[in-house]
A and B are shown apart, each in its own frame.
Chain A
């Protein structure tokens, strides 16, 4: 029999009412707590209430994709460090607004086949007021080739006498072919003619470092705002790791009239495009990149959209280590024949600014008179499934395999990572019946795995170090440490050696043209695209310079118009 109390419903109802009351009270409590906390945080710091552009204080607030690992110019390798160093330090030569070479610390220079001489300006100063001298360059360059520094970019100095021997530990550091003739003259001895030596001087490894300051930092040089001496347009006044990097105009900079804003505040470290676009929308940052997802919003909101070709080339690289099937030329050609860079760019990436990859040499490189790619057009490999399958059959025969083992496609977790890898996985399965295993890693781990040879195919890329085709051409030379697939082609090595030493423009360009042909016929990689970026800039901010070689973006010339 039912023994349920008669007032059961009533009991339920009152319990329900009580629960509702508790719920309402807790919601109100949480809201009050949040308000209180935000009020308290406003009391505590309050500095983070940023405005993208503050004309009154001359402040421009920006975002960085990540914070620089450290700012020692001899050891820095990444693009973010290079961008920050470009704002706070200056080398002998710098890039002007149009990308042309402009005097930096050096007033003038003379470069011959065997030497280079730089005359330094007398008014170049460090941020503590002391002059920048030729000794500072000698110290920094010696440090860069010092094997103890283990700089990844030491090779960029190898054109200087004894640099390679010092770096390999076979010569004393003092034997480096760089001399200070007094405080204001720097003389460099070269082992071979370097036609692009002036262009190299822009690169951050060639920046000066003052010895007494460096020694005073006791190994922490470049790790904090006060552990770095500045001679560029800006100084870092505040560096909260992981949160903020604030630059202020450097009063000791010799060309300080060029700098029109007082503060560049990198107040956000984020690479999440959606977060950045929201900050831009709220007027908290002045520049933000767009991705495919928020392009339409930018169009509807009538934001001024800019586009910039980064100058890099992205490609699918093959592993040429012994036991890998990708050593087989026919297999590589088969893959080359089914990859359609047009389809990748126009229908998978779908962002303007990207160009379909045709060659390892991007379109912006200069040739004899005009652009290199116009003078030496790359043969376009048109997708051809029938020929690809024929090549695959040949490859199987040569490898003695009935079916190919699964191939590992290494990639990193960049914004396009999943889309691209899944697209290639399906394309190679559909057209060639290959099984592709996707190995997604973070950027650093991808590089480590590439160096270890732990891949069959890898989606990689190359950013130019200096605006000369050689920065791309020597990439697959057998001695290059960045040739992580261990491609080895004696004919290519020969040509690279010619390009490195020849001073005749015509000979060099012909050589690059020949290298381009080899890279398509015996492919160490298949070019996929030349990446571009689409971004929005607050219309009040003028003079943002984007450039391919050297640091990017360049805010040293920006000015604020209107309010």
Chain B
């Protein structure tokens, strides 16, 4: 026998135990849930964060504002009509207005002259009769007229030539007015004779008015001639002397209420409808989506009017409820379409098939896969639906279909403000700016949310 090599069996020496390594799988970044991740991405988006702060500020403005700024938004103050922010607030107290019988308390005997000290209640003037005059025409101007120029506003004309006094009470302000009285001949043409006067009325209100508006503490005695301050209106007043700030706060309630409630309702309905159609598929899907197409074709304004009638909303009652109903009933198909598309897509994904093979139930599939994967789309639709609903409300109030006066709303305020846009711009600017800011903030926030919530964006980082 050939002797064989001794078998070299591996000895124990060849084996040394490896040092026990405690290396486990490690995460290179902290584990983040979907929401944490989205939040981080949202925080990185400066526009979205600023918008978020603006939205929060708006909610505070609306909900807490009226608690801090306790001014009745429908209280009118005809002494302070269309005041710009920061207007003069000092006012002198005067005796209540009494009709004038022609007596005079001021000296003077020639030409056009004042019979009483001029204040914003009335400017009472008398003038010398002109022989042959059949009537007198009284002009009021805001600048002195140069020779040959028109004399300004023809505020009045006496009925006869024997009447040589006039009391001007038309929208008097504490500004200088230039009055001219022109005699008219028998045919009604202006004669050469003119008498002129310039007057600066003193801003006054009566003691009773000052008391009823609480311009001074009840304990403080008020006398004619005392000076008090008008209530502060930080953003000015509107065409009936109502506080703009209070109106904006209360107007925001309507706007934001509709802007948030209506989208919540129609987005949730759209999600339920769309996911059902997408999940069931086939013929049911076809029928359901054709119905959605039909609803899209319905005109909103017409339905708004129909609902208003169907709800028995009479004239002068707020149409908030029909507005929400019309918005909900006609705006859901957009969401439904989006969600259905998303569900159809997710349904065919590998992980859904895998879960199905592993015996997952429909419930589990929907809760674990379908909804989380469509949540981004849903949230984004919601944030984009809010500004469009706010805008719809503003538009409807603007055309007079929304809330009824005296309830303020931003759209209604803009509608009134636009009429005096050139002389009192603040009446239009404030509500218009608020509408713009709100709509923009919600849009940018929605934009940021879309970026943050879109799960596919994760893989790109």
Contacts and interface: CB of A to CB of B under 8 A. Distances in A.
Contacts of B187: 98
A419 B76 CA distance: 11
A350 B152 CA distance: 15
Given A98-B188, A426-B76, A438-B315, A352 B240 contact: no
A353 B405 CA distance: 28
B355 interface: no
B171 A347 contact: yes
B199 to A, nearest CB: 16
B160 A370 contact: yes
A306 B142 contact: no
Contact of B423 (A2, A296, A439): A296
Interface string A348-372: 1010110000000001000000110
B405 A352 contact: no
Given A305-B152, A419-B239, A439 B406 contact: no
B135 to A, nearest CB: 11
A348 B78 contact: yes
A4 B157 CA distance: 81
Interface string B400-438: 100011100000000010011111000000000000000
Contacts of B86: none
A440 B169 contact: no
A185 interface: no
Contacts of A489: none
B153 interface: yes
B149 interface: yes
B81 interface: yes
A347 B81 contact: yes
A303 B154 contact: no
B316 A436 contact: yes
A352 B156 contact: yes
Residue with the greatest number of chain B CB neighbours at <10 A, chosen from A305, A342, A371, A374: A305
Contacts of A419: 239-240
Interface string A297-314: 101101111110000000
Contacts of A295: 153
Contact of B316 (A98, A348, A408): A408
Contacts of A430: 75-76
A307 B76 contact: no
Please report whether the interface of chain B is mostly helix, strand, loop or mixed according to DSSP: loop
Interface residues of A, number: 53
B155 A293 contact: no
Contacts of B150: 302-305
B70 interface: no
A323 to B, nearest CB: 15
A262 to B, nearest CB: 27
Interface string B54-85: 00000000000000000000111010010000
Nearest to B415: A418
Interface size class of B (residues with CB under 8 A): 35 or more
Contacts of B75: 426, 430
B447 interface: no
A293 B240 contact: no
A421 interface: yes
Contact of A2 (B171, B419, B461): B461
B16 to A, nearest CB: 37
Given A305-B150, A352-B153, A437-B404, A346 B460 contact: no
A423 interface: yes
A418 B154 contact: no
Nearest to A345: B170
Contact of A294 (B81, B155, B422): B422
A345 B154 CA distance: 15
Nearest to B316: A437
Contacts of A348: 78, 240
Contacts of A2: 461
B171 A363 contact: no
B406 A422 contact: yes
A293 B419 contact: yes
A348 B152 CA distance: 21
Residue with the greatest number of chain A CB neighbours at <10 A, chosen from B143, B149, B405: B405
B159 A371 contact: yes
A293 B315 contact: no
Given A307-B157, A426-B76, A293 B423 contact: yes
A299 B153 contact: yes
Contacts of A345: 170
B429 to A, nearest CB: 15
A421 B240 contact: no
Given A342-B169, A347-B171, A439-B316, 11 more contacts: A3-B460, A292-B420, A293-B421, A302-B149, A350-B171, A352-B155, A408-B316, A418-B405, A426-B406, A430-B76, A534-B154
Interface of B: 74-76, 78, 81, 99, 140-143, 145, 149-150, 152-157, 159-160, 169-172, 187-188, 239-240, 314-317, 400, 404-406, 416, 419-423, 460-461
Interface of A: 2-4, 98, 292-297, 299-300, 302-307, 342-343, 345-348, 350, 352-353, 363, 370-371, 374, 380, 406, 408-410, 418-419, 421-423, 425-427, 429-430, 436-441, 534
26 contacts: A3-B460, A4-B460, A98-B187, A293-B422, A293-B423, A300-B142, A300-B143, A302-B150, A305-B150, A345-B170, A346-B172, A347-B81, A348-B78, A371-B160, A374-B160, A422-B405, A425-B406, A426-B74, A426-B240, A436-B316, A437-B317, A438-B316, A438-B405, A439-B316, A440-B315, A440-B400
